[in-house]
Amino acid sequence: MLPRVFGLGFGLGLKLGLGLGLGLGLRLGLGPGLGLGLGPDLGLGLGLGVGIGSGLGPGLGLGLGLGLGLRLGLGLGLRIGVGLGLGLRFGPGFGRGLRLGLVSRLRGACGPDNGRYAMRSLPLADAHDAQVARCTYCPKLCRHACPVSTAEARETTTPWAKMASLHHVRRGVLDADPSVASTWWACTGCLRCRSFCEHRHEVARTLAAGRAEAVRRGWEPPSVRRWLDRASERERRVRVAATPWRSGAAADPTRVYLPGCSALVRAPEQAEAGFDALRVLYRAEPTVLADRCCGLPWLEAGDPDGFARRARAMLDEIRTRREAVFLDPGCLHALRVIAPSMGIDVPAGSRLRHLVEVAADRLETWSPVELDGAVRYLDPCRLARGLGVVEAPRRLVSHVLGRAPNETFHHGALAECSGQGGLLPVTARGTADAIARERLAEHERAGGGWLLTACPSSTVALRRVGARVLSMADLLRASARREPLRVEA
């Protein structure tokens, strides 16, 4: 029988034995009986060390790395090494070995199953297995892109670590519980990691599948369970907020305005501003669809069926409309991109568009607006990255203000997130606020002034941390009415 030891180690090795040395390596001889060794001894060493092991009997030792190493010898010997290196040892007779380092761990965690681990079936996540595996072995080229791991300064919330934990849970190497699964909610769905990924992996979509499995198996964090238990109350609040938005008989039935439930509940003044802007643009009131949700929060909470039901209901409402205009980029992205990827039929005859897209097509409608001070445009994640709407808002702002907006350091498809998506304000409110504060700090380092954005949730969050924020709906309403801007402090 030839016992084998394979491991990675970083450090030094201490070799006991006296004999003939050949090759690279450091040989120290202090063995049993103050350094007496028996037999010829050939030593070869490169690199970062060996593992820890002892053996008795003739043996062949080979070590690759940067440290102390390997031996071809006959006789008694004791070898000690700790560190990160590569070692392979063969020897007949009695032997025991302890391996410390990365390779021995990864063999069990990521390598062939060999019957040691029971694969766990996660049907909702299995479709993403290839992406999860590639992310697990990736050298973390997108780690800097995640707003959550940057704000928390935790390796466990980098895109790599979140995908790797899902991989290890699926392989049965890692036991799942709410503390493990909670990292799958440490994602805003901003898609920024995808911009830095050579494979364009959909980390947010994959983690959503992991969340669904966690909810199905009872692994979800307590904050998510509370949200799901109170979801019906949330829908009731939306219906109450939508009461004043009943469309009159004069409303244009071919065009529908969807302010979004977040704006209705948290920023009703922005919902009103968007409606006023469309009324001027269309020269008629659009029909308002305000009493229901697109379902995105349910998907983010881990309930894809709840999302699918609500998305289908909303799409059925707009199926016969010529144009549906959204105020919230998250709602539009959910129905225009996510829903079709889940097999939900999107009406081919209807155009689903954001307010800034529609407004930028009719620049002649908008009058100049005077605004003192610098204005810096902050791209909404799902509008710029998710839908590719980058030039339209800049063209619109340049026309209305008479000058191009200032830019954030990263903008367009690489723009930074404000931390309000993915249910993060529910699962980690402190982290969500920290991300918003970082956006404000970057803005102030660049000279400050006004922050302008087309995302209602970002507007609310940035105002909460003290930023001077202007929403695109506010700007369009002032332009349409030819009146000074009225902005919430």
pLDDT band at 401 (very low <50, low <70, confident <90, very high): very high
pLDDT of residue 72: 36
pLDDT of residue 60: 38
What is the percent of the chain where pLDDT is above 90? 61
Beta pairing partners, 286: 252
pLDDT tens string 425-470? 999 999 999 999 999 999 999 999 999 999 999 999 999 999 999 9
Of 22 and 165, the one with more pLDDT: 165
Q: Is 1.10.575 the CATH classification of the domain at 244-359?
A: no
What's the average model confidence in pLDDT over 385-407?
97
pLDDT band at 414 (very low <50, low <70, confident <90, very high): very high
Say how many C-beta atoms besides its own lie within 10 A of residue 56's C-beta: 14
Q: Is 3.40.1280 the CATH classification of the domain at 366-481?
A: no
**Is the pLDDT score of 119 beyond 60?**
no
pLDDT band at 122 (very low <50, low <70, confident <90, very high): low
pLDDT of residue 125: 62
DSSP 8-state assignment for residue 66: S
Q: Where in the chain is the domain with CATH 3.40.50?
A: 244-359, 366-481
What's the average model confidence in pLDDT over 311-340?
95
Q: Parallel, antiparallel, or unpaired: how do β-strands 351-354 and 323-326 relate?
A: parallel
pLDDT of residue 131: 74
**Is the pLDDT score of 11 beyond 50?**
no
**Is the pLDDT score of 109 beyond 50?**
no
Residues 413 and 426: their CA atoms lie apart, in Å, by 26
pLDDT tens string 344-369? 999 776 699 999 999 999 999 999 99
Buried b (16+ CB within 10 A) or exposed e, 448-460: ebbbbbbbbbbbb
CA distance between the termini of the chain:
78
pLDDT of residue 124: 57
DSSP labels, 349-401: TSEEEEHHHHHHHTGGGPPP----S-EEEE--HHHHTTT---HHHHHHHHHHH
**Is the pLDDT score of 96 beyond 50?**
no
pLDDT of residue 482: 83
What's the average model confidence in pLDDT over 66-90?
37
pLDDT of residue 137: 72
What's the average model confidence in pLDDT over 202-229?
95
pLDDT of residue 432: 97
What is the percent of the chain where pLDDT is above 70? 72
pLDDT of residue 316: 93
Q: Are 112 and 52 in contact (CB under 8 A)?
A: no
What's the average model confidence in pLDDT over 374-390?
97
Q: What is the CATH number of domain 116-220?
A: 1.10.1060
- Give the pTM: 0.74
Residues 471 and 199: their CA atoms lie apart, in Å, by 34
Rg of the chain (C-alpha set): 30
Beta pairing partners, 27: none
Q: Parallel, antiparallel, or unpaired: how do β-strands 469-471 and 52-56 relate?
A: unpaired
pLDDT of residue 140: 77
Q: Where in the chain is the domain with CATH 1.10.1060?
A: 116-220
Residues 19 and 59: their CA atoms lie apart, in Å, by 14
